[in-house]
Amino acid sequence: MLKNYFKIAWRNLKRNKAYAAISVAGLALGIACGILIFTLVTYHLSFDTFHKNSDRVYRLYTEWHDDGIGRSNGVPQPLGKTFRNDFTLAEKTGRVINFRNNLITITKGNEVKKFREENGVAFTEPDYFDILNFPLIKGDKKNILVRPGEALLTEKIAHKYFGGDDAIGKVIRLDNKVNFTVTGILKDLPPNTDRRQEIYVSYGNMDEYTDKRREDNWGGVYSGSEAFTLLKPTTTTVQANNAMAEIVKKHYTGRDLKVWKFKLQPLNDIHFNADLDGYADKKYLWALFFIGVFLIITACVNFVNLATAQALNRSKEVGIRKVLGSLPHQLFWQFIAETALITVVAVILAIGLSYLALPAINHLFQSEMQFNKGQLAVFIFMVSIVVVFLSGSYPGLVLARFQPILALKSKLSQKHIGGFSLRRILVVTQFSISQVLIIGTIIIVSQLHYSQTADLGFNKDAVVLLPIPQNDLAKLTTLRNRINQIQGVEKVSYCYRPPASQSNNSTGVNFNHRAEDEHWGINTKPGDENFLATFGMKLIAGRNFFPADTTREFLVNETFVKKLNLKPQDVIGKTLSINGKSTTAPIVGVVKDFYNYSFHTEISPICIMPDYRSYSTLAIKMNMRNAQSSLASFEKIWNESFPEELYSYEFLDDSIKKFYEMDNIQLKLAESFAAIAIVIGCLGLYGLVSFMAVRKTKEIGVRKVLGANIQHVLWLFGKEFTKLLLIAFLIAAPLAWWAMHNYLQDFKYRITIGPGIFLVSILSTFIIAAITVGYRSITASLANPVKSLRSE
Amino acid sequence: MLSLQHISKFYQVSGLKNFVLNDLSLEIDEGEFVSIMGPSGSGKSSLLNIIGMLDEPSEGYHYFAGQAVHQLKEKQRSALYKQYIGFVFQAYHLIDELTVYENIETPLIYQDFKGTERKAMVADMLDRFSIVGKKDLFPAQLSGGQQQLVGIARALIAKPKLLLADEPTGNLNSKQGEEIMELFRKLNKEDGVTIIQVTHSEKNAEYGSRIINLLDGKIESSKQL
């Protein structure tokens, strides 16, 4: 019996190739999206779940309750030590201080190799490796990084530095400051961890690497300074949080007592908490999950639409089978078998599709996802079962219930094969979703276009940034003079970072010797007297500061003035103290506001002042006509100035583009989901039109005999889908407006959602839908009425 | 009114011509009431479809109201057809989703009559066929005879010169059939509508002024009554 079912199913599909192809394509697309989204979601949920006792592992973090609440994943460096020494709540507590973009030098005989390590180096206490599970494959497990001057490398890094040689005992030099001897090799990091450091060095060398103040400094937080703790099984988070409150009481005084708070963040929250430098908000995963479910369901719906439209054509077969003695449930199972066959083909196709798409998705997210075959097999099996019964049972039931005599005489009409309005509702739902996605895509594109072309308040074009690894005054002066002589160089400025940067320093503010410090911080932008000219920034009051090597005068921005509720003229000549009053100087000018972060963030109060010790960038405004030769000259001069360092350069506009990396990912996702939703929506529309065409064959024939021409008949279909699309639009427009309004809230500076966006969306949907409907309705309208009316 | 000369209709099946109509010539004058008879498969319906321009002959010349139909373009043919011809079917072919009133109105919409004109014309027609009380019913709510009445009313609404009927009484009982035939006779005599009907029934055929017998795609005999 079963064999017979499948044989008949196969022949039926072979005969109705177009129908089979559309069903398979729709299902395959839906299931492929399901597989990919499942992989993506499980991948993110698996982050840092491989550690032992991961339910008891916490990261300490800092909260400031002042002018609003600020949070940092970093903590004052002494916090971890104090928690370990003064309390007995934890089994282990370990500090890890991360630095990024470090230079590693390796000397082998006369050969010197230099490496720029983007993921950087971590100064780590031994306890860290008891809390988190990063196993050693070589080295002494008991004495990991106990003595100063030791380093651990992952296999990958060891291979990169030393090739096939044994790395143990070799020396690496960090930032031309400190030497470390490799004493252990770590297993390569799994892709699903947020702890990306691959070079760990002894915590004991921190003092040597930075200045000593940090070890006992409770007043500042470096975001790379983290502390992890493994609580005892009996310890509650309430106890731990109480301990944190005690620490604050002991180490802070005055206003700080209210401002500073330390808290514990569970390990499984780290990946998802965007406030604390987490990667992905869980709400996005949920959104993805629902999109996946939606895509699979719509694919099933299309299948049902097409299958029932097809059912009328098969009424004769069903009638004959019934006359020959088939029972309803046998017919039902025959159609389930047919669905199963289509689903199996679709699943195979979907697996192929997702294998093809995975590298692209990994590239987009810069991740290393792999298919977890075990989990995926279970998932695919479940999905297949659900799909078969979801999409097979309805057409099966409908066909099985046909009255045999009516079926034989082709006297079945739409009331025998299920409601037309149900299909309409489904198509409206599909198109509402695709319009929401289309509107979303248009808005994201417009916003990104706006952020990349809007006036930033400074000039980002044709500015090259070179790193400054050493702040030797004589060297800096020579370098500047030599660069200035290169043809095509227009302006040169030393600065900490360009006006907009992801790397920022903030400090407390005291204005005009007021008794109390302001309740907000100021973003310091060290730069020399050419800073304004190089980046094309404008003064709105006062003057630029005079050339100097250290801070004698300040420039501030408009926001600073506004925060003080003053006029630009009023601050000129007043004193400004920063860095805990260690730097005090008069304000001599106010610059027009410029965007110092991305458009996601509000412009902060800013001061600009010369301070050669803080310079880490040489910004060169150049003429792009001779870019190639100029860049070559920069490299040559730079290498001569800093022979021990590794040369690199970056254009300012490229570095600003990086602010919008996540937005670009969102854009690509929105685009692909919009495209897939449209394709599936169109398949649904096609199903509906096929159904209509079958149902209206007789009507069209009659109308043509009565004198209707092709346009009249086409309008029969056009009227239907215009109505459905308009309803879908009316549902989608407010939804999309609401969703995108919320999305734009993430940008402090944003576009407004105008009617044009909605117009473009509905127009594009109409065009796509018209093309979909066009073919089927034209064939229907061209059909010869003699044929369609002959049957009776 | 119309003239068919050397009309053939055939289907090519693996190189062999399978003739439905074979070199058939026929003249019909205005005001005639022609009955076409013949056994199943003799080509009656095909002939009617060609006369009604629903189908094209494979060969031959077709003149209608002084125009060479075989040379006309689709558009002109459609215009000619809309103006002159009404169709009545054995299976009525009313549109299930439209009411009696709307079914009758449909041809007028395709001929671009204005709303007020349409109203007047449909009201007239309903009156004439005494189906005013049924104008808001759907086809499924009517008996077969009533449905065919609506079908004829619909065929006549645009005042065609030629009414083509493909076994108009085939699905009706004898009493209903007689009524329809009486109606045809009246239309022919009083309104001067030319009628061509296909029928199996001798009795119905005799309502006409001429009976044409078809056999294997050819005219076997033609008898003036």
Amino acid at B54: L
| Residues of A whose CB is below 8 A from B110 | 703, 706-709, 712
* Owner of token pair 């890094």: A157
Answer whether residue A323 shows pLDDT above 80: no
In sequence order, which ranges of B54-193 are alpha helices (DSSP H)?
74-84, 100-110, 115-128, 144-156, 174-186
Instruction: HSE, CB side, 13 Å, CA atoms: give it for residue A502.
Output: 12
Q: Tell me what the pLDDT averaged over chain A comes to.
A: 85
B94/A702 touch (CB, cutoff 8 Å), yes or no: yes
What pLDDT is attached to residue B109? Answer: 81
Residues A643-667 have pLDDT tens digits of 888 898 999 988 888 888 877 887 8
What pLDDT is attached to residue A350? Answer: 94
How far apart are the C-alpha atoms of A464 and A622, rounded to whole Å? 8
The arithmetic mean of pLDDT across residues A434-458, rounded, is 83
Q: Is the distance from CB of B107 to CB of B72 less than 8 angstroms?
A: no
| Cβ neighbours, 10 Å, residue A84 | 19
Confidence tier at A1 by pLDDT (50, 70, 90): low
Highest mean pLDDT among A160-169, A195-204, A708-717, A764-773: A195-204
SS3 A211: coil
Confidence tier at A404 by pLDDT (50, 70, 90): low
| Residues of B whose CB is below 8 A from A703 | 95, 106, 110
B90/A712 touch (CB, cutoff 8 Å), yes or no: no
The arithmetic mean of pLDDT across residues A302-310, rounded, is 75
Nearest CB to A706; choose among B96, B97, B110:
B110
Amino acid at A254: G
Percent of chain B with pLDDT over 70: 100
Point out which residues pair with A398 in neighbouring strands: none
| A30 part of contact set with chain B, CB < 8 Å | no
Name the DSSP letter for residue A604.
Answer: P
Range of the domain at B30: 2-95+160-224
What is the token pair recorded at B163? 């009414």
3-state SS record for A160-178: HHHCCCCCCCCEEEECCCE
Does B127 map to a domain? Answer: no
Does B211 map to a domain? Answer: yes
What pLDDT is attached to residue B125? Answer: 92
Residues A347-395 have pLDDT tens digits of 999 999 999 999 988 888 888 888 888 889 999 999 899 888 887 887 7
What is the token pair recorded at A116? 């720029």
- What CATH number is attached to the domain comprising B86? 3.40.50.300
What pLDDT is attached to residue A576? Answer: 92
Does B35 map to a domain? Answer: yes
Confidence tier at A415 by pLDDT (50, 70, 90): low
Answer whether residue A417 shows pLDDT above 60: no
**How far are the Cα atoms of A466, A493, A632 from residue A481, in angstroms, in the given order?**
15, 11, 17
* N- to C-terminal Cα separation, chain A: 35
How far apart are the C-alpha atoms of B206 and A518, rounded to whole Å? 112
* Owner of token pair 């206490």: A125
How far apart are the C-alpha atoms of A136 and A703, rounded to whole Å? 82
Answer whether residue A565 shows pLDDT above 80: yes
How many domains, chain B? 1
How far apart are the C-alpha atoms of A449 and A453, rounded to whole Å? 6
Using CB atoms within 10 Å of the CB of residue B165, give its burial: 0 to 12 exposed, 13 to 18 middle, 19+ buried.
buried
Nearest CB to B95; choose among A699, A707, A789:
A699
Answer whether residue A721 shows pLDDT above 90: no
The arithmetic mean of pLDDT across residues A599-623, rounded, is 90
> Residue B88: in which H helix or E strand, if any?
strand B85-88
| A786 part of contact set with chain B, CB < 8 Å | yes
E strand map for A222-353:
225-231, 260-266
Q: Is the distance from CB of A617 to CB of A473 less than 8 angstroms?
A: no
Answer whether residue A182 shows pLDDT above 90: yes
Higher pLDDT, A676 or A127: A127
B106/A706 touch (CB, cutoff 8 Å), yes or no: yes
Residues A472-513 have pLDDT tens digits of 889 999 999 999 999 889 999 999 989 988 777 788 889 988
pTM tops 0.80? no
Complete DSSP assignment for A677-701: HHHHHHHHHHHHHHHHHHHHHHHHH
B95/A703 touch (CB, cutoff 8 Å), yes or no: yes
Nearest CB to B54; choose among A413, A703, A705:
A705
**For chain B, give me the number of helices (H) and strands (E)?**
7, 10
Nearest CB to A785; choose among B54, B90, B97:
B54
The arithmetic mean of pLDDT across residues A699-705, rounded, is 83
Higher pLDDT, A680 or A148: A148
What is the token pair recorded at A9? 């199913």
Does B151 map to a domain? Answer: no
How far apart are the C-alpha atoms of A195 and A436, rounded to whole Å? 37
Region for residue A506 given its phi and psi (left: phi exceeds 0; alpha: psi -120 to 50; beta: otherwise): beta
Residue in A closest to B109 by C-alpha: A708
Q: What is the ipTM of this complex?
A: 0.73
The arithmetic mean of pLDDT across residues A542-548, rounded, is 93
> Residue A712: in which H helix or E strand, if any?
helix A710-745
Does B90 map to a domain? Answer: yes
Q: Which of A253, A347, A337 is nearest to A29 (CA)?
A: A347
| Residues of B whose CB is below 8 A from A708 | 110
E strand map for A30-174:
57-66, 68-72, 90-99, 102-108, 111-117, 121-124, 136-139, 150-154, 171-174
In sequence order, the 6+-apart residues with CB closer than 8 A to the CB of A369 are A39, A40, A43, A191, A358, A361, A362
How far apart are the C-alpha atoms of A410 and A116, rounded to whole Å? 77
Percent of chain B with pLDDT over 90: 49
Residues B119-177 have pLDDT tens digits of 999 999 999 888 999 999 988 899 988 999 999 999 989 889 999 998 898 888 888 88
Amino acid at A91: E
Answer whether residue A466 shows pLDDT above 70: yes
Does B119 map to a domain? Answer: no
The arithmetic mean of pLDDT across residues B45-54, rounded, is 88
